[in-house]
Structure 1
């Protein structure tokens, strides 16, 4: 059957349902199909209703505004929109009203508590806990802390449920740390967003046993399969660590956003452990041992090639692929592959 003809008999009915107010997804659910099918079928047939792309951020904006004390203007700059959009979404979706002159006047009323607010906050109390103790809103507490020169915690740090071993990678001075760093390079990335400084590890749930030791080292304790991460329908787990200190240390070691990684500067004796972790999750060996390949960012693979050529005198190693960012490192000599595997066999 020609592409696009399968659902022609439903188009009039879908058009009617859409014009009566149902969404593409609701129509798709009725017929047990993907919403994209309905969207494509009705393209150029109906006038698509405009919907705000910012409604999905309502809860994020509430936390930023109410719990962290960011102004509507500050949030608007983060999301490249206007303060009126922030106010509109907060009011329409969550019933949060605009700041009034009466509320603005609270700043002077509680000025004598500024130092107390800052001291309690630095001791670990949340904005909500401080506000409850003094019978004021968390927004009021936030305003005084900011005006008094205090530094508010980022959302990620304020909301994290688990402690993070911030100093674990201060020095890469053991094979175990080098191995863990290699695993992080293979499956981790650095993110910086409204939630602060984030180290994210993405893995398939089948790889849990391989990556679990790193998560345990950074958490300082054992953790179950789903704790601190989540398993979406595609079977992947995403762990996030919120720590500016850990973020900065890993960036100094070369970890970064995807395609911007640089090989860490380690003692030559620690590179085998690093590559053992990295190749474990990124390397692929052919069934006949004819070749060993690694797909990753061109920048990092180029640096890896130089190290392997220098330390192992590999001759049959090259970078393939035309992409500026992504490439493949390939070793095609079985003896050199054996030499590499013997070199990284450190555990």
Structure 2
């Protein structure tokens, strides 16, 4: 089998990282660290959720959740509508997705920021206003496709695209800065960077993102990320969780995801394992950390059997989607050069 071009391997790695981190964290999501240890021991592989899990009950081991499903929905929207972001279509897409989730008897529904924003948008509130309270991590968890289609050469241009995708649901400085930092790591990864070399641009993107949206929530997301990276460089997973936090707030979970990747030395599987045991919003921290580590290592950076299991259990076709997203990236690169 011929070796994939690097950009394609990195784009697949980003999408695969979302899925792997999401699925590993699925059985432990919402549980504090101690309860994860009491229930599962130390999670080192895909496991089914415990009986009666408040969110994941009934899912098989290696199943993805809303993090990956929303990421792939956003990717397909970008492919269908190149060159523009249709706020109403995005709202309708996710509302239809939630209805399907309910029909499947699952409990992983739209997050609070997203739900409120879509209800307001469909009732006639302008898209520039609907997301002005959203500081949770929903935008960062699904931003990987935006990063794959957007070249990393211009921080301002990349943050423009992130802000556009955040507008309806997470139009705040905290959420935009957090999503912009993640997106820059992924975009730089597609260009061939490793995690460490992508960080300066990611911090710059976070600072630029903090100038966008409503002045709500964390004003120094870059500082939060730097603090998490510093703890990870000198401390432990427990210290990272205790000091930074692991809740759905972007200032906690997104910063923690950066620390997780550093703790893992950039290894995407190790990052997903750390996230699965870190406590609270484990699946989303895993998805975000996985996207960044996956983009910076490529699909080849994952254990082949783990990646194959994710693809098989969830019937994913990541290569076809990655190719379509990279076509858009090439178009944007040509447009920027012209």
**Structure number having the greater strand percentage:** 1
Q: 1 or 2 for the larger relative contact order (CA 8 Å, sep ≥6)?
A: 2
- TM-score (normalizing by structure 2): 0.26
Larger radius of gyration: 1
